[in-house]
Structure 1
Amino acid sequence: MSTMHEADTLLAVDVGTVNTRASLFDVVDGRYRMVATGRASSTAGAPLFDVREGMQVALGEVSEITGRPFFDESEALLIPTTGGGAGVDAFVSTASAGPHVRTVLVGLMPGVSIESARRLAGSTYLDVIDEIGLTDRRGEEAQIDVILAARPDLIFMVGGTDGGATASVIRQIETVSLATSLLPTDQRPALVFAGNTNLGAAVMERFQNGAAVALVPNIRPSLEQEELEPARLKLAEIIGQFRSQRIAGFEDLNAWSGGYTMLTADAFSRVVRYLSRVYDPDKGVLGIDVGAAHVTVAAAFDGKLSRKVHSDLGLGTSLPGLLRHTSVSNVSRWLPMEVTEAEVRDYIFNKALYPGTIPAELSDLHIEYALLRELIRAGISRSRGDWAEGASSELMPPMEPIIASGGAIARAPRPGYAALALLDAVQPRGITTLVLDPYNLVPAVGAAAKLLPMITVQVLESGSFVSLGTVVSPVGRGHEGRPVLRIRIDPESGGEPIEGIIRYGQLVLLPLRQGEHARMTLRPERGFDVGFGGPGKAGALRVSGGALGVIIDARGRPIELSKNPERRRALNQKWLYEIGAMLES
């Protein structure tokens, strides 16, 4: 692979559960831009289990758009670019498709090492089947039975501080060693040991039974210290190997990508963490990626990243898992029309069986986006406990920006439709910006960031991402129709200022086109906070326009929906109309 100074063209491929996407980036006027993108149905699953088929179709679309061939006669990727303009200078790949790695966690203290292991497992594509800890009431024989019954692909062992007591950890090592030795040789799980580093030799001595063993630095070297990154990298490597063994074609992606295909969640989160370092240090950055089989929620505060991959949530194969975290009635509360619970359930299970289908009727579209709201709400709710800020508050911590990715987001029939779904689901407070990733580019620029450091900021500032606009969400309670905010927008272009009074319960769009800037002055009424230091505090700031201009969401935080079904449906219709998303059947 060529050096980053020579890499003008970059090809990125992302293999998802439903879609495989390919994107070509090139330097235009001295800055990286996405110049073409292609999409195809993924072939990582049944019946082909070969990522190359879908990848070839997606790359074929890019090649047809650009006139650039990517492969030689032997179907090898041309790297670097040839003199005739074929091939690319660099290639990166990301993937979220593939079976989950069935995992058993083994550790000592539930609130210490096991908690850290649980947090780490929840940040990637592991499916934790069971946990074994020091306080486990099951005896050794029962613990062995747990491992035998689980038939795990991976055992993730933690426990003990560096230089601390070893007896309890050694007993667990011996229990796990005995259990794995009872499994057929070809079914023995991989083992990652991330506990007391003094026990590395003991682990290797007891696992001479054919199991693949990896020793990594302790995730809890002391009670006060947590070090997850080395173990995270090893787990990512194991997940990649697991997929390559079961799905053809990943070996090609790995070779072209310089050795490995990055996990989509890792690449997505890298961008979120980067943005938290360059945006307002007093606010966090929130990234939400809703796929067919996973919902990834990444939040970063001044470079401190927290991420959760919810493998039981998704707008496809994992959709039935949503009902373990919410109810059908909670889904229905976001609908602008009457739908029976049976219709919602039917939609959920049909979508799980046929995740690639798109809504054919307006009622189906409304149901899908109601489900999207609850998926995002469930994902955020289950993630916030690990956030560096605002974990205990009912309200969202201040965020700037909020980035949303995923097929349903990209398919929104109108910008306002996507915006309303995000406002309902996330319920941001104060001032933020809503950004859509319609071409699924965040994983691509995240994977390319180390190779091409400038690509992240340059592509994010390009037109490939859709800024829906600046959002102002006053926090406070009031009566419908009561004034909550006085606003003035002075365009930098010199046009007429826009002034208005915002009333409680309104959704208001004020014009400010994409690429335009203005000075926005906010004067909240007593009892309402827009983020300038407390309730009633006024202030001004420079804002950018977007697809919807400036969005004022004066519905209060948290949004309180009417318990009367007819009133609730009427409000949902009103909000769709106010945000410019009303659709005709």
Structure 2
Amino acid sequence: NLGMSYSISNVCAEATMPNILRWVHFDMDERELRNRVKNKMIRPTTIPQSIEALIFEQAVAREALRLAYKQHKEFATTLKGVQQQRSVGDTFSQQTSGQTIVDNMKLDLLVASGGVLSHAPRMHQTAMLLIDAFQPEGFTTLAKDSIFMMPHLGVAAQVHPRAAMEVFERDCLIYLGTCVAAKGNGKPGKPVFTYNIEGDTLNESGEMMYGDIKLFPLGPGEKAKVTVDPTKMYDMGNGPGRRISREVRGGTVGLILDARGRELILPEDRSTCKKMIEKWVEALDLYPQLAAAAV
């Protein structure tokens, strides 16, 4: 059980504190953090009272989501021991049975639901939690369940399907924007892909280097055409090194271009890792309170 209330200790035990703290861009006392975890267990409905507590809770949430998704992919597999029909073309690309059927490149919508995700103070934080934990590839629309309504609408759909669908589309989903991410890994500072964005309110072009993440303003209801040209080491949905164009939708956060690589690998050196996380925090303006306090 990997949750953020009674079972938060399970997350800390399985993920380990160093893996949680890699998402925090400043030093925190580990003993104090363990006390916070225990307090959360016995008072699961409490909310963070400081920006530092919020950042730590969201760091734990990243690991909880990552571990839960990892388990899900392990459960969602093809049947083991089943004979597969193959063609001559499959000779050099054979896969054993029991492989996961979850393909991040084919997932085109991520919906955030649950306390930490739905009630984050800024929707930018919700979007970043989704991207860091699930590591979407290619073009992925991001949304959130406004007030943790989806489970209830699922029950309502059994009685009034049409009404449940209308509420789901109009009041439940809040679109955060779109994430465009490259699959593959490289060296910091090396080119990953070039981009060209064409829209009524947004027209940009440029190049993304490995380790970069950028946010462009693209509001709710707005759309734009995004064309990306990845280098030969990266795939963005049309094969390694092949250009791809898609129409993307905006949202309360905007359009996010992610060249941090997939899978997302953080530096083992704590000092280097903190600088990298701080760079990403600033790029998406996750915690403006911290930036204001630093001035």
Matches within 5 A, 1:11-410: 312-388=1-77, 391-392=99-100, 396=104, 398-410=106-118
Q: 1:578 to 1:463 in 2, by over 3 A?
A: farther
Query: Could you tell me which residue of structure 2 aligns to residue 442 of structure 1?
Result: 150
Say which of 269, 272, 276 aligns to 1:564. 269
Q: 1:432 to 1:394 in 2, by over 3 A?
A: closer
Say which of 507, 510, 518 aligns to 2:213. 507
Amino acid at match of 1:347: R
Provide, for residues 532-575 of structure 1, a one-character-per-residue CA deviation record: whole Å limited to 9, x for no partner: 2x111112122111112111111001111111111111211111
Say which of 173, 188, 197 aligns to 1:480. 188
Does residue 1:580 correspond to 2:285, yes or no? yes
Q: 1:342 to 1:466 in 2, by over 3 A?
A: same
Q: Determine the C-alpha separation between the residues in 1 that align with 2:230 and 2:272.
A: 28
* DSSP 3-state at the match of 2:15: coil
Contact map agreement 1:329 1:341 (CA 8 A) in 2: no
Q: CA RMSD in A?
A: 2.1
Q: C-alpha displacement at 1:498, in angstroms?
A: 2.1
Q: Determine the C-alpha separation between the residues in 1 that align with 2:212 and 2:206.
A: 12
Q: 1:395 to 1:445 in 2, by over 3 A?
A: closer
Q: Percent identity among equivalent residues? A: 32
Does residue 1:523 correspond to 2:212, yes or no? no
* DSSP 3-state at the match of 1:372: helix
Amino acid at match of 1:345: R
Provide, for residues 33-67 of structure 1, a one-character-per-residue CA deviation record: whole Å limited to 9, x for no partner: xxxxxxxxxxxxxxxxxxxxxxxxxxxxxxxxxxx
Amino acid at match of 1:556: G
- Aligned residue-pair number: 271
Q: C-alpha displacement at 1:460, in angstroms?
A: 3.4
* DSSP 3-state at the match of 1:584: helix
Q: C-alpha displacement at 1:459, in angstroms?
A: 2.9
Q: Determine the C-alpha separation between the residues in 2 that align with 1:436 and 1:394.
A: 21
Q: 1:401 to 1:344 in 2, by over 3 A?
A: same
* DSSP 3-state at the match of 1:434: strand
The structure that has the greater radius of gyration is 1
Q: 1:558 to 1:393 in 2, by over 3 A?
A: farther
Contact map agreement 1:336 1:570 (CA 8 A) in 2: yes
Q: Determine the C-alpha separation between the residues in 2 that align with 1:564 and 1:384.
A: 29
Provide, for residues 293-317 of structure 1, a one-character-per-residue CA deviation record: whole Å limited to 9, x for no partner: xxxxxxxxxxxxxxxxxxx221111
Contact map agreement 2:193 2:229 (CA 8 A) in 1: yes
Q: Determine the C-alpha separation between the residues in 2 that align with 1:503 and 1:456.
A: 44
Provide, for residues 241-276 of structure 1, a one-character-per-residue CA deviation record: whole Å limited to 9, x for no partner: xxxxxxxxxxxxxxxxxxxxxxxxxxxxxxxxxxxx
Q: Determine the C-alpha separation between the residues in 1 that align with 2:194 and 2:18.
A: 36
Contact map agreement 1:328 1:344 (CA 8 A) in 2: no
Provide, for residues 510-537 of structure 1, a one-character-per-residue CA deviation record: whole Å limited to 9, x for no partner: 22111112222121122111012x1111
Q: C-alpha displacement at 1:496, in angstroms?
A: 5.8
* DSSP 3-state at the match of 2:208: strand
Matches within 5 A, 1:411-450: 411-450=119-158
Amino acid at match of 2:28: V
Q: Determine the C-alpha separation between the residues in 2 that align with 1:376 and 1:573.
A: 21
Q: C-alpha displacement at 1:576, in angstroms?
A: 0.9
Contact map agreement 1:395 1:558 (CA 8 A) in 2: no
Query: Could you tell me which residue of structure 2 aligns to residue 220 of structure 1?
Result: none
Provide, for residues 380-407 of structure 1, a one-character-per-residue CA deviation record: whole Å limited to 9, x for no partner: 1122122257955997453121111111
* DSSP 3-state at the match of 1:417: helix
* DSSP 3-state at the match of 1:570: helix
Q: Determine the C-alpha separation between the residues in 1 that align with 2:77 and 2:274.
A: 37
Query: Could you tell me which residue of structure 1 aligns to residue 163 of structure 2?
Result: 455
Q: C-alpha displacement at 1:452, in angstroms?
A: 1.9
Query: Could you tell me which residue of structure 2 aligns to residue 269 of structure 1?
Result: none
Say which of 204, 211, 224 aligns to 1:498. 204
* DSSP 3-state at the match of 2:289: coil
Contact map agreement 1:485 1:524 (CA 8 A) in 2: yes
More helix by share: 2
Q: Determine the C-alpha separation between the residues in 1 that align with 2:69 and 2:201.
A: 40
Q: 1:481 to 1:395 in 2, by over 3 A?
A: farther
Q: 1:319 to 1:488 in 2, by over 3 A?
A: same
With a CA cutoff of 8 Å and minimum separation of 6, indicate the structure with the bigger relative contact order: 2
Q: C-alpha displacement at 1:446, in angstroms?
A: 0.9
* DSSP 3-state at the match of 1:558: coil
Does residue 1:541 correspond to 2:230, yes or no? no
Q: Determine the C-alpha separation between the residues in 1 that align with 2:133 and 2:228.
A: 24
Unaligned runs of at least 5 residues, structure 2: 79-97, 291-295
Contact map agreement 1:404 1:437 (CA 8 A) in 2: yes
Q: 1:397 to 1:474 in 2, by over 3 A?
A: closer
Query: Could you tell me which residue of structure 2 aligns to residue 91 of structure 1?
Result: none
Contact map agreement 2:117 2:129 (CA 8 A) in 1: no
TM-score calculated relative to the size of structure 2: 0.85
Amino acid at match of 2:218: L
Amino acid at match of 2:41: A
Q: C-alpha displacement at 1:464, in angstroms?
A: 3.8
Query: Which moved further from structure 2: 549-558 or 480-489?
Result: 480-489
* DSSP 3-state at the match of 1:484: strand
Does residue 1:489 correspond to 2:197, yes or no? yes
* DSSP 3-state at the match of 1:348: helix
Q: Determine the C-alpha separation between the residues in 2 that align with 1:512 and 1:398.
A: 23
Q: 1:395 to 1:542 in 2, by over 3 A?
A: closer
